[in-house]
Amino acid sequence: MNEIFWAFGRASGIVSLGLFTLVLLLGIVSRSGRPLPGLPRFSVALLHRSTSLMALVFLVLHVSTLMLDPHAKLSLANAIVPFTAGWNPFWVGLGTVAFDLVIALVVTGLLRQRIGQRAFRAIHWCAYAMWPFAFAHALGSGTNAVDLWFQAYAWGCAGLVAVGAGWRLSANFAETSRARLGRI
Partner 1 sequence: MTEMTLDPRQLGTGGLFTAAVPDLASHEAAYGRRPSGWTRSPLLRELEASGLAGRGGAGFPAWRKLAAVGAGRPAVIANGAEGEPLSRKDTALLRQAPHLVLDGLVTAGEAVGASELFLYATAESLPGVGQALAERRDGPRVTLVEAPAAFISGEASAVVNALETGTALPRDKAARIARSGYQGRPTLLHNVETLAHLALVARYGAQWFRSAGTADDPGTRLYSLSGDVPAEWVVEAPGGASLRDVLRLGGAEPSSLAAVLVGGFHGAWVPAEAFDLPLTARGLARYGASPGAGVLLALARGRCGLQASAGIVRYLAESSARQCGPCMFGLPAMATVLERIAAGERAPWLASEAERLAGLVTGRGACHHPDGSARFVRSSLGVFKDEVRAHLAGACTAHHGRV
Partner 2 sequence: MSRAQLELHIDFTRCDGRGLCTEILPELLVRDDWGYPVGRGGRDIHVPDGLAGAAQDAVDLCPLQALMLRRVTRS
Q: Which of residues 53-72 bind ligand HEM (CB under 6 A)?
A: 53
Please tell me whether residue 82 binds ligand HEM under the rule CB under 6 A: no
Residues engaged in binding partner 2 (CB under 8 A):
30-31, 33, 35, 40-42, 45-46, 112-113, 116-117, 175-176, 179-180, 184
Tell me if 98 contacts ligand HEM by CB under 6 A.
no
Which of 16, 52, 65, 96 is in the footprint of ligand HEM by CB under 6 A? 52
The nearer residue to partner 2, 32 or 141, going by C-beta atoms, is: 32
Which of partner 1, ligand HEM, partner 2, none sits in contact with 41, Cβ below 5 to 8 A by type? partner 2
Q: What are phi and psi of 173, to 5 degrees?
A: -60, -55
Identify which range of 69-77, 84-92, 126-134, 142-150 contacts ligand HEM by CB under 6 A. 126-134
Distance in Å, CB of 106 to ligand HEM, minimum: 4
Among residues 5 and 133, whose Cβ is nearest to ligand HEM? Answer: 133
- Residue 49 near ligand HEM by CB under 6 A: yes
Interface residue with partner 1, options 21, 109, 180, 183 (CB under 8 A): 180
Spatial CB neighbours of 36, under 8 Å, sequence gap ≥ 6: 29, 43, 44
Which of residues 3 and 118 has its CB atom nearest to partner 1 in the complex? 118
| HEC secondary structure over the chain | CHHHHHHHHHHHHHHHHHHHHHHHHHHHHHHHCCCECCECHHHHHHHHHHHHHHHHHHHHHHHHHHHHCCCCCCCHHHHHCCCCCCCCHHHHHHHHHHHHHHHHHHHHHHCHHHHCHHHHHHHHCCHHHHHHHHHHHHHHHCCCCCCHHHHHHHHHHHHHHHHHHHHHHCCCCCCCHHHHCCCC
Name the minimum Å distance from CB 151 to ligand HEM: 22
